[in-house]
Structure 1
């Protein structure tokens, strides 16, 4: 499988600077991963997109152009979450009726101020009509601004808050999500590592207690992966400079 490394932290609003080092660090952790849980040794082909953390718009354009050339199922390693904007935009250009699933502690629906950042990229995709609001699912939210909740409510977005996931049980939420996206033609999966509790993934800029355990997130993704319409995956917001014993980078490698 092709893996695209995007060492970009320029859209992190000061919280994502170290995220530029994540792709190399995650790739390094793969050396210790002899086989996945199905007993299969992963076979990855790595490429890297040239970006400049001080030139956000130009970097996003480079990302868009490169992702546009991908015709096979791929994994994208960020990088801060702003990269999901050009990545999904390119994915949607190549795949009609594309939908997106996001694992994130935050809904990323703030008002856009200037360029796309990790706080508003999803709102931009919806507001610009790049993705149908009915084909957006956000899972694991446990900290959101009133601006974000108002936008989500006005657009009737499917957001699964962390407290409700445990009230209704993770297995049932997983089934509900799978039933919904099974009808979508093409799906993009975005995994912000802060969806995981910082006890398990401390290496990220926005630490939000009360998240998924590592096993719970892996369980959810393994279930989703049984569907054949998930065609692109990104893993973002890993920050090696904030990590402890490489736990977060190891988890990202495990998710791959």
Structure 2
């Protein structure tokens, strides 16, 4: 299957690659690096995640699953970015994800800056978004832009009701964002909540979401900078890698219809965060694969 909006990349995620037609999960790299306001370099992230993924065991001990034995996985490659035109690039992202969904497959998207989530979610008809992030990303405008990494969830709410957004791990926002979230009734659990009472939060999420389709958007800065230093805007006070992996094992039991991992900035990473990103993805794939038993 060829997509004119995509440049093929080999080897793909994990170094394995099933034909698109036979795949259940389809990887898509989106090296978008247009609206960065602090530490740029998102454009190198998909390549680094793929590189790390080929150097990690595909057997996930916690699940007792070899990911590539349980799931047929293909990697389309990277969206062709038009650096001077965010709208045009976004249209490409939405078209490709719509095709993946239409073909009955789960899109696994590797950013790239968090702005990509808006364009990915435009491809979904009806979904609950679980957003893992240090920041709320609910500004209406930032540095003159209404659509950027700092406003992405506000723009998502232009197309989804507020009760379809759940934020996990948040610990930094502006006063305006806090007021908007409170007035809108957005559900949120801070990093401190996740550390102190993870089981209670998971139980609440399962009651809220039930059987509805879920999209996971994972900004790597949900982790404390000690565990993920190579992100655009590090925020102290985050959860650990172990805590995130435990959380994802439970979230992966929900009706996951797609996910993204975003905000890796390789020029500011020693390689640690790339491997964390790959491990996060394997954990999610293992949860999805466990359902195939």
Same fold by TM (over 0.5)? Answer: yes
The corresponding residue for 2:155 is 124
TM-score, normalised with respect to structure 2: 0.80
* Worse-matched range after superposition: 213-222 or 52-61: 52-61
CA distance in 2, matches of 1:165, 1:27: 29
Q: Give the Å deviation of 1:90.
A: 1.0
- Aligned residue runs from structure 1 range 105-254, under 5 A: 105-112=134-141, 113-126=144-157, 128=158, 130-167=159-196, 169-183=197-211, 185-227=212-254, 229-244=255-270, 246-254=271-279
The corresponding residue for 2:93 is 63
Q: Deviations over 1:120-139 (max 9, x none)?
A: 0111121x2x1121111000
The corresponding residue for 2:116 is 83
Residue 11 (structure 1) aligned with residue 35 (structure 2): yes
Larger radius of gyration: 2
Task: Give the match's secondary structure for 1:81.
Answer: coil
CA distance in 2, matches of 1:132, 1:6: 26
Structure 1 unaligned residues grouped into runs of 5+: none
Give the conservation status (yes or no) of the 8 Å contact 2:44–2:266: yes
Q: Deviations over 1:13-53 (max 9, x none)?
A: 343x2111000100011111222313304353112211123
The corresponding residue for 2:288 is none
Residue 31 (structure 1) aligned with residue 58 (structure 2): no
Give the conservation status (yes or no) of the 8 Å contact 2:169–2:238: yes
Compared CA separation, residues 146 and 59, structure 1 to 2 (3 A): same
* Structural RMSD (CA): 1.5
Give the conservation status (yes or no) of the 8 Å contact 1:13–1:117: no
Q: Give the Å deviation of 1:164.
A: 2.9
CA distance in 2, matches of 1:75, 1:84: 11
Q: Deviations over 1:67-95 (max 9, x none)?
A: 11112112100000000000011123xxx
CA distance in 1, matches of 2:190, 2:244: 14
Give the conservation status (yes or no) of the 8 Å contact 2:140–2:146: no
Give the conservation status (yes or no) of the 8 Å contact 1:12–1:81: no
Task: Give the match's secondary structure for 1:176.
Answer: helix
